[in-house]
């Protein structure tokens, strides 16, 4: 089984649907460090071998970092809260990377938008697809709503005319969790999320798809 992610601890900020997707893990370049346990991560040195002389050039708020806490495995994840170029970033919770720093780390880009081409994740190589959506904190009022759209490879203007796979669905404010078996010949899927009435809280919404590779059957 493989897992692919749309969202990870996303702060919903709109009453209309936005569509987000997390990219694959990429190798980070350059040494990074913290001063003890901290939410601020700094570059070790200005390294001319790193693009623009620092390791943070590819990063933006919302991206996910995979870091060896204390410089040892296993990797743990942190979400980028802000980027201050060239020298530092802040993350959503403290981590200790040791003063000497670490050089072996990874990142995932997070892209979100409202256009017809935003948020699409390739799923054409998967079967037995299970979508799981969950969140942590209820909005001040109303509900967290999600929808799923799909497209079939080769259809004309496929992104302009997506199929409704799961309609606009209000999640339970008690369970805060939905798992849905996704059926159909979809090449790409996307998950839209919105708050129905008030998006003031940080709901920490996550959505991921698990499935079996067709090549393994």
Q: Does the model's pTM come out above 0.85?
A: yes
Q: Please state, for a pLDDT cut of 90, what percent of the chain lies above it.
A: 76
Q: Tell me the per-residue pLDDT of 9-66, one tens digit each, with 9 for 90 and over.
A: 999 999 999 999 999 999 998 889 999 999 999 988 765 455 555 789 899 999 999 9
Q: Tell me the per-residue pLDDT of 110-131, one tens digit each, with 9 for 90 and over.
A: 999 999 999 999 999 999 999 9
| Cα 165–chain centre separation | 21
**CA pair distance 93, 136, nearest whole angstrom:** 15
Are 89 and 120 in the same domain?
Answer: no
What's the order of all strands across the beta sheet hosting 205-213?
2-10, 205-213, 126-134, 177-182
- CATH code for the domain in which residue 88 is found: 2.40.30
Are 120 and 184 in the same domain?
Answer: yes
Are 140 and 166 in the same domain?
Answer: yes
For tokens 């970092």, the residue is: 65
Is the alpha carbon torsion for 33, 106, 204, 116 positive or negative?
Answer: positive
Can you give the pLDDT at residue 51?
54
Are 64 and 103 in the same domain?
Answer: yes
Can you give the pLDDT at residue 44?
85
Q: Tell me the per-residue pLDDT of 136-155, one tens digit each, with 9 for 90 and over.
A: 999 999 999 999 999 999 99
Structure token digits, residue 63: 């991206």
Are 146 and 161 in the same domain?
Answer: yes
Query: Which range of residues forms the domain containing residue 94?
Result: 26-108
**CA pair distance 127, 111, nearest whole angstrom:** 25
Residue that terminates a domain, selected from 58, 81, 108: 108
Q: Tell me the per-residue pLDDT of 23-34, one tens digit each, with 9 for 90 and over.
A: 999 999 888 999
Please give the mean pLDDT across all residues of the chain: 92
Are 87 and 124 in the same domain?
Answer: no
What is the bridge-based pairing of β-strands 32-33 and 37-43?
A: antiparallel
Q: Tell me the per-residue pLDDT of 168-182, one tens digit each, with 9 for 90 and over.
A: 999 999 999 999 999
């Amino acid at each position: 089984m493989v897992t692919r992610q749309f969202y990870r601890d996303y702060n919903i900020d709109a009453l209309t649907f936005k569509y987000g997707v997390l990219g694959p893990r990429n190798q980070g370049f350059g040494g990074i460090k913290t001063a003890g346990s901290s939410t601020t991560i700094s570059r070790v040195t200005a390294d001319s071998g790193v693009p623009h002389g620092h390791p943070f050039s590819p990063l933006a708020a919302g991206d996910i970092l995979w870091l060896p806490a204390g410089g040892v495995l296993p990797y743990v994840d942190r979400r980028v809260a802000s980027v201050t170029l060239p020298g530092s970033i802040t993350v959503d919770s403290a981590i200790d990377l040791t003063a000497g720093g670490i050089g072996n780390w990874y990142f995932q880009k997070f892209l979100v938008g409202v256009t017809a081409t935003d948020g699409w994740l390739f799923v054409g190589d998967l079967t037995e697809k299970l979508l799981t959506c969950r969140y942590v904190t209820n909005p001040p009022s109303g509900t967290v709503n999600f929808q799923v759209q799909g497209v079939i490879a080769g259809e004309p203007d496929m992104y302009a005319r997506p199929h409704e796979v799961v309609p606009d669905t209000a999640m339970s404010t008690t369970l805060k969790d939905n798992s849905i078996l996704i059926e159909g010949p979809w090449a790409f899927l996307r998950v839209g999320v919105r708050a129905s009435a008030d998006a003031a809280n940080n709901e920490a919404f996550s959505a991921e798809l698990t499935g079996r590779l067709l090549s393994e059957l």
